[in-house]
Chain A
Amino acid sequence: MRRITIVVLLLLAACARRSSPPQAQAKVFGAALVEVSGSRQAAGIGMAVDQTLVVQVNDAHGSPVAGAPVWFHAAGGAVLNPAMGLTGSDGQFSATLTLGGSAGRYQVVARSRDTSGKEFEIRMDEIALGYQQMQGRQLNEQHCVRCHESESSAERVSNHDNLSKAPHSFTDGGVLNAMSDSDLESIISHGGPALNRSPEMPPYGYTLSKTEIEAVMAYIRAVSDPPYRPKGLIYASR
């Protein structure tokens, strides 16, 4: 009987043994993590985001720590490469992110630990765009971005500052999340005057199809910051 008990206990122990967090062979530890770059990027499902995710480990005084351990974690099939390692001489650690297979927000958690073994972390949000949102992104590049984005690129000069009323960036969730779907659709289809706004926003209802306008709206909702949460009845996900 005793022998059986021991076997069962051993089995339980084997099952319960969690893989301990990947501790790189670190000898130096920091006190805080800060993001350098890489959050809030959007890419198609299953694609790698353009910029690498870069985090920095700082000590208690805020100066970078070289050789401190960092490990990334992401759910939903997103893959980070490398997922763990030590910070470089500038105190930074970077990884490329490949998004998972379904559209939505992906949260990447970067963790490190201090000398006492206490873990600290930061979170970075990334956006995976489905077919419809990708189509919206393309239409945005073609028709919207020159006025709605104030940044110019080598290939495209922004017209944002030439307008009498500054258009909202599509990531401006503070404003755009407050607009209902039907308001958004009206202003895209019928132009600014439909909502008593500037006529400098022209109507696109005769240029873009209904599907295309829906795609643009899906893109706006996908990239908004803070994230868009549709109004109305939400059921518990469980």
Chain B
Amino acid sequence: MRLRDKLASVWQFLFGDSARAFGSLSVLLACCLSVVPARDYFREWRRYQDDYLRLVRGRGDAIALQRRFQSGVQQIWLPELGVVDRCTTCHTGLKEAGLRDVRELQFRPHPAIPHPLTEFGCAMCHRGQGAATTVEEAHRSTKAWEQPVLPARYLESSCGQCHQNTLTGTPQLSLGRKLLARYDCVSCHAVKTPGGAQMASSTGAPLLTHIAEKTSREWIFAWLKNPQAYSATATMPNFQLSDEDARDLSAYLISQSTPYLPGAEAPSAAQSKTENAQEGASVYGEAFCASCHAVQNAAGLMVGGDVGPELTRVGSKVKPEWLGQWLRNPKIYDSDTAMPHYRFDEKQLALLAGFLEAKSDSDLLANVQLPPATDAQVARGKVLARDRGCAACHQINGVPKPDNFAPDLTAAGSRSLAKLVFVGDMPHTLPDYLAAKIRDPRTFGQQLKMPKYTLTTQQVDALVTALLAQTDRAQAMPAVLRIPGPPASKYQPAGKAGEFMNDMNCFSCHAINGRGGDMAPDLTWEGSAVQRKWLVDFLKNPNTLRPALIRRMPKFNLSDADANMLANYMMTVYQTPAFDRDGIDPAKFSASDVEEGRQLFYSKYACQACHIVDPQKDKGYIGPTLTQVGARLNAAWIFHWLKDPQALRPGTLEPNQHLSDQDARALTAFLMAQRAIKR
């Protein structure tokens, strides 16, 4: 009762007569109309701008900072990149270098990067929603916006959207791309770069077409069950096969194998081998096998390179007759192998075979008992080889290489979260999904085919970074904005020398005209650099130029004729057009030139900090030893090298000292005078 009376009196008060009703409705209308301006007034970004102005007010350079400050919603609009970024609305101090000492992240200047903000915007690198003007929508994934800000650890992936080339500033991205190729991810998954090129595998998994000649079925079984048990550094992932699967697959692999040598040349089972650990080790050392192959030492550390397979237990793997033939000439078994054709003599072959066969592990195959394979097992093994995608990486008789075996990852960095299935309590973000998938794919379902890789956290992060670079935005980028990688060089030296260089696999270590490895010096201009006699001697018996390096040129036991033929080719073809090889005649240097060069060498330029000319006195060993440089290098090369080393060999360590012609000439005279070993 009381309530009804009260309501009636309120109604009477507000709408009792027409004047009251008009007044009330006006007030109501004014309230309604003020909602929008009020909401605008309380927007989040205004608070940040007010905070910024308050922060700036107390500083000595307040007037300049206030003058540069612009209120209201700010926007970077770059139509050709599709950038509409309003981040600078709240991040007000991004361009104020003077605010470096400010504690609040949102007001600090942006750290130094190669790209100006106004030309690239923010979301291009940091992702998130550039057009949003609230903290929540811009940075996190909310209902309407899928893409959160990229965690700092994967930031390099954004560089990879435009840059297909290798950047010095993005080691993680480069590592990731290298791993995609090295671990053969790209053999099952199609990964296209924005230019449309398919990423290619860099390893070339071993051929399995003659596998029975190389190893036993027991070893294949143990390897399939757990490759890392044989070799901790194996790139082959663990397919988590059951005993039956491994049994049948090994049965098929043995049955499909064909002989690789015509019957007459088949190696005899009784290959000569000499078991002499000390001499065997010295052949292994002199051939610099460790430049490419690693062996685990007693302390559990890997010693050696990762180009070829680890050899810790190689004696338990390979058949002695195969090993002997392989060491004699690996090209016969696999014409594409990166292993050079050493020309070992019989004694070296026997010692090396004995040394490697002794590297065995009796525990490895101790528990592997395989009864002879039945036809049904072989048939099932073939089906398994096809279903598991073995032929995506390996060459196998009877199983063709599958197309599109695994999902295309060309746009892996733009995958919609709505289409991903998360398991367990993992965070619902794309980087976390990718990392979990790479680390242990089978947590997403036991029936999945993807194998388990043994990777470090750093490698997983690098792979995620490389995949996050594969975005829709990158694919849609106008061609002018893409920076392609260097074109793959198909350089092939001609004629007999070319065949010879392939046989020796010079390109496994040396690069020439853009093709080849980076383990040893680039030989593109070698003919301009060195003297012919030195080159012939070096090819026959390589001595050490750089004492501080572990990797060195092995001795290939070349004949005189071969060394001369190779030297002739290199001296003729690998000439730089930059200068005349015979432009400086060392005979014209006077004794005073040499003395002036000595002064410059030791005093003005202190070259002895890195090079040794006099072994009694000099100690530097960063650069090559120069005791016999006058018999090794060409005078014109030395002169032009001193003037600008990077022009002759990009990326070389020797700093460009900007020498005058006169200084360079005197130093050349001094270096050309260093012809004999001084003791």
Contact = CB atoms under 8 A, between A and B. Distances in A.
Interface stretch (A33-41, A100-108, A114-122): A100-108
B655 A206 contact: yes
Contacts of B417: none
A132 interface: yes
Nearest to A214: B112
A199 B604 contact: yes
Interface string B600-622: 00011110011000000001111
Nearest to A43: B153
A236 interface: yes
B152 A101 contact: yes
B102 A138 contact: no
B152 A199 contact: no
Contact of A46 (B61, B151, B169, B548): B151
B591 interface: no
Contacts of B457: 48
Contacts of B605: 199, 202
A190 B604 CA distance: 13
Given A159-B622, A162-B619, A202-B605, A45 B152 contact: yes
Nearest to B618: A162
A135 B60 contact: no
A143 B112 CA distance: 21
Interface size class of B (residues with CB under 8 A): 35 or more
B606 A131 contact: no
Nearest to B659: A206
B550 A155 contact: yes
B350 interface: no
A205 B658 CA distance: 9
Interface string B638-678: 00000000100000010111100000000000000000000
A203 B105 contact: no
B59 interface: yes
A236 B58 contact: yes
B168 A138 contact: yes
A134 interface: yes
B101 A130 contact: no
Contact of B646 (A191, A207, A235): A207
Interface string A111-154: 00000000000000000001110110011001100110000001
Nearest to B605: A199
B103 interface: yes
Contacts of B151: 46, 101
Nearest to B61: A235
A15 to B, nearest CB: 22
Residue picked from B61, B102, B153, most chain A C-beta under 10 Å: B153
A103 B111 contact: yes
B609 A162 contact: yes
A44 B606 contact: no
A46 to B, nearest CB: 3
A44 B111 CA distance: 13
A204 B657 CA distance: 7
B111 A237 contact: no
Given A138-B171, A162-B620, A131 B113 contact: yes
Nearest to B612: A162
Nearest to A198: B606
Contacts of B606: 198-200, 202
24 contacts: A45-B153, A46-B151, A46-B153, A46-B155, A100-B152, A101-B152, A102-B111, A130-B112, A131-B169, A132-B111, A134-B169, A143-B653, A157-B548, A199-B603, A202-B605, A202-B606, A204-B655, A206-B656, A207-B655, A207-B656, A214-B112, A233-B60, A237-B103, A238-B103
Given A44-B172, A206-B658, 10 more contacts: A45-B155, A46-B152, A142-B653, A143-B653, A154-B550, A155-B550, A204-B655, A205-B658, A207-B646, A211-B114
